[in-house]
């Protein structure tokens, strides 16, 4: 009778330790859309194609930078990458609305080349009649200040550079259909 709670407690402590303690409270949100709900038209190719505001809290201890990758796993050609941002300083706790449309980012922040073939944000734009797609905004907390990559890196290079450096990950998903 007393073994089950002890086992559960040990498992919880193990998961917390593996995740780096604070990682379980690491969370990303947006004032522009709620997790699991529709992304407004203004953030899509049918609107102004603005990047939405994103905020995060409680990064894991030891975080030195952040990397964000926005993907559509429902694209007909396989996962389609809409935005890659990396080398965001640990002091950052948000990306303001429209930052993905700025040509030159400050503070050493870099952007990779999306599957659209350019740097910067490319909003939801599923093929017409293809149904509703999911858009995952995945933020990773890293234990390095820089990935050592130039601007315009490809997603594969960013993912390779992150290997072994991810302290925690959080995600918010929006949906959009045409």
Report percent pLDDT > 70 for the chain.
Answer: 87
Asked whether residue 2 is assigned to any structural domain, the reply reads: no
Distances in Å between the Cα of 117 and the Cα atoms of 71, 81, 114, 126 are 14, 10, 5, 16
Does the pLDDT at position 12 exceed 80? no
Predicted TM-score of the model (pTM): 0.86
Residue 5 counted as domain residue: no
Q: Classify residue 1: in a domain, yes or no.
A: no
Q: What pLDDT was estimated at residue 107?
A: 87
Within-domain flag for 172: yes
CB atoms within 10 A of CB 65: 24
The residues, ordered by sequence, that sit 6+ positions from 167 with a Cβ below 8 Å of its Cβ are 20, 23, 59, 60, 61, 62, 63, 141, 142, 143
The answer to whether residue 66 is domain-embedded is: yes
Q: Is residue 79 domain-resident?
A: yes
Q: Above 80 in pLDDT, residue 136?
A: yes
In whole angstroms, give the CA distance from residue 136 to residue 116. 16
pLDDT at 10: 40
Please determine, for residue 49, whether its predicted confidence score (pLDDT) is greater than 50: yes
Q: What is the pLDDT of residue 13?
A: 40
CB of 177 closer than 8 Å to CB of 133: yes
Give the total number of structural domains in the chain: 1
Which CATH number goes with the domain that contains 165?
A: 3.90.280.10
What mean pLDDT comes out for the span 11-29? 58
Predicted confidence band of residue 24 (pLDDT cuts 50, 70, 90): low
Q: Give the domain range for residue 161.
A: 21-177
Q: Average pLDDT, stretch 109-120? A: 96
Of 168, 160, 20, 149, nearest to 85 by C-alpha is 149
Burial class of residue 98 in the structure, from the number of CB atoms within 10 Å of its CB (0-12 exposed, 13-18 middle, 19+ buried): middle
The Cα 144–Cα 142 span in angstroms is: 6
Percent of the chain, pLDDT > 90? 82
**Does 47 map to a domain?**
yes
Tell me whether residue 170 is in a domain: yes
């Amino acid at each position: 009778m007393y073994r089950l709670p002890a086992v559960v407690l040990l498992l919880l402590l193990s998961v917390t330790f593996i995740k780096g303690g604070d990682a379980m409270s690491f969370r990303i949100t947006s004032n522009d859309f709620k997790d699991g709900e529709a992304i407004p038209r203004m953030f899509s190719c049918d609107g102004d194609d603005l990047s939405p505001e994103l905020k995060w809290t409680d990064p894991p201890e030891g975080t030195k930078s952040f990397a964000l990758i926005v993907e559509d796993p429902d694209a007909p050609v396989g996962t389609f990458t809409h935005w890659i941002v990396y080398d965001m300083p640990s002091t950052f706790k948000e990306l303001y609305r429209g930052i993905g449309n700025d040509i030159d980012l400050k503070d050493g922040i870099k952007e990779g080349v999306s599957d659209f073939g350019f740097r910067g944000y490319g909003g939801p734009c599923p093929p017409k009649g293809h149904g509703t797609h999911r858009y995952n905004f995945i933020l990773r907390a890293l234990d390095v200040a820089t990935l050592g990559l130039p601007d315009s890196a490809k997603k594969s290079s960013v993912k390779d550079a992150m290997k072994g450096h991810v302290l925690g990950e959080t995600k918010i998903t929006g949906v959009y259909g045409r």
